A = this chain, B = another copy of it.
Amino acid sequence: MDYEMILKEIKPNTNEKEKVESLAKSMIDFINYTSEKENIPTKALLVGSVAKNTWLSGRADIDIFLHFPLDTSIEDLKKHGLKLGYACIKKMKGTPEERYASHPYVTGHIEGYSVDFVPCYSIENSQELKSAVDRTILHTHYIQSNLRSEQINQVLLLKKFMEGVETYGSEFKVGGFAGYLCELLIIEYGDFKSVLEAASSQWKKGFVIDLENHGTGNNFSEPLVVIDPVDPNRNVAAALNIQKMSEFMAASRNYLQEPKKEYFFNIPRTITKDTILKRFHERGTRPIIISFKAPDIPADAIYPQLKKTETSLKTKMEQNGFKVLRSGYWTNEDTKAFIIIEFDVWNLPHCETHLGPRIWDANHQKKFLEKYASAWLDGNQWVVEIERKHNNVPDFINYLLKKENIHHLKIGKHLKEEILNQYEMKDIDDFLSENNSQKILEFFHQYLNPGKHLRR
């Protein structure tokens, strides 16, 4: 494999690097000048992948942390931090957008870059931690001190490979590997290929990596445990789910078996509505799509609610005898969201059997027979046929999504509001005739080809 060729495509060139670094420097200088002038006890610091030199070309997210002394009140930190951020964005002629992590921060869209201004406390070690963001400065220092310069290329290859096989990113939507996690894996295993080899043949559920020998691996129950070198009580891989861990292992095996450049890049796709519909028709299932407005909450809060709702709906449908082949969900993280449930069985008879007590249980038998005069015995168990209340899928979904019945489902509260307010239920044909953006078609393509990204 010609890694140099790949690096040529993914590593920022001198020009791009200088531009990003000079932009970052001018913003840091502005904040430090302003804070000094206005007597605000803070210093700006470049952190994250730009500071660590581990960013991919075209993908520079500039992270500027404004660190305050530990005795600053949280109100002052928030007030001054955000004020300085807004001021800097204004000065740079950017557009501000306020966001929330464990405490507020502001993002500026400046000269085509996304720049985060995050107020935090200036800590020297994890015992002083006041909020999760405080760790970031320690992380940046750790990588700067422990990642050898020749390993930077290895980090870039690993990140890009993970992007190609769709396991990169610790946000809930992906549930994959964070950038910091990639850097730690390179420090642990030495280079890109060794990470893939370890994942292929060594990793098991609950595998522990403990760079600084903190010895706290047994405290965690996630699929992969990577003890944070700067905080023994944190698993850097906490957001990595079993799905993405498994997918990375599978993709690593596939790649090592037959390395191809294509693993580092997205699969080019030409997707049409007709291809999608043809595939669904061939399957002979009944795919039902329930769409509604996405609630106005951060993306990382929408996805868990969608997942919970999908799971709960699926469970209820199956409990009622409507067998589900597969299901999924999608949102543009803004206005639209939908859940697809693909049914094996979507019509049922008007009657169903209901099991009663055993014959040995004279008391329960009495009550049961008072209620069900037509009961009979199947062996030693009382059985009765009762009318099935819901014998087709659309009726049952409409029933469940009524205000008085929705408590049967486990739905996140924001989603519940939106669904109760308005939802649409459609077959795949009807849905796609009105919703055929490339993003939506891509979702269905992925839904119909769920293993394609693991192999080239």
Contacts and interface: CB of A to CB of B under 8 A. Distances in A.
Interface of A: 200-201, 204-205, 223, 242-243, 245-247, 249-250, 253, 282-285, 321, 323, 325-326, 344-345, 348-353, 359-360, 362, 365-366, 373-380, 384, 391, 449-452, 454-455
B284 A351 contact: yes
Nearest to A360: B204
A35 to B, nearest CB: 48
Contacts of A201: 362
A141 to B, nearest CB: 35
A379 B349 contact: no
B451 A250 contact: no
A246 B451 contact: no
Contacts of A377: 243, 246-247, 250, 451, 454
A433 B374 CA distance: 28
Contacts of A204: 360
Which of A359, A373, A378, A449 has the most chain B CB atoms closer than 10 A to its own CB?
A359
Given A205-B360, A380-B242, A391 B200 contact: no
Contacts of A242: 379-380
A355 B137 CA distance: 45
B284 A449 contact: no
10 contacts: A223-B380, A245-B380, A246-B379, A249-B359, A250-B365, A253-B366, A284-B350, A323-B345, A376-B450, A376-B454
Given A325-B351, A350-B283, A374 B449 contact: yes
Nearest to A374: B451
Contacts of A373: 455
Contact of A253 (B246, B362, B379, B384): B362
A200 B361 CA distance: 10
Given A284-B349, A374-B452, 15 more contacts: A200-B362, A205-B360, A205-B380, A243-B379, A245-B380, A246-B379, A282-B350, A284-B348, A285-B349, A285-B351, A325-B353, A344-B348, A344-B352, A373-B455, A377-B451
Nearest to A343: B349
Contacts of A352: 325, 344
A378 B246 CA distance: 9
A376 to B, nearest CB: 3
A394 to B, nearest CB: 17
Contacts of A350: 282-284
Nearest to A353: B325
A59 B449 CA distance: 72
A253 B353 CA distance: 23
B391 A284 contact: yes
Given A344-B321, A360-B205, A451-B377, A283 B246 contact: no
A351 B246 contact: no
A377 B141 CA distance: 36
A201 B359 CA distance: 10
Which of A325, A349, A360 has the most chain B CB atoms closer than 10 A to its own CB?
A349
Query: Which 5 A-B residue pairings sit nearest by Cβ, starting from the closest?
Result: A376-B451, A376-B450, A284-B349, A284-B350, A246-B359
A285 B350 CA distance: 7
A253 to B, nearest CB: 7
Which of A245, A366, A376 has the most chain B CB atoms closer than 10 A to its own CB?
A376
Given A326-B353, A353-B326, A359 B250 contact: yes
A450 B373 CA distance: 11
Contacts of A454: 376-377
A362 B249 CA distance: 10
A353 to B, nearest CB: 7
A171 to B, nearest CB: 19
A365 to B, nearest CB: 7
A452 to B, nearest CB: 8
Nearest to A379: B242
Contacts of A449: 374
Nearest to A279: B351
Contacts of A323: 321, 345
B284 A375 contact: no
A243 B377 CA distance: 7
A201 B323 CA distance: 42
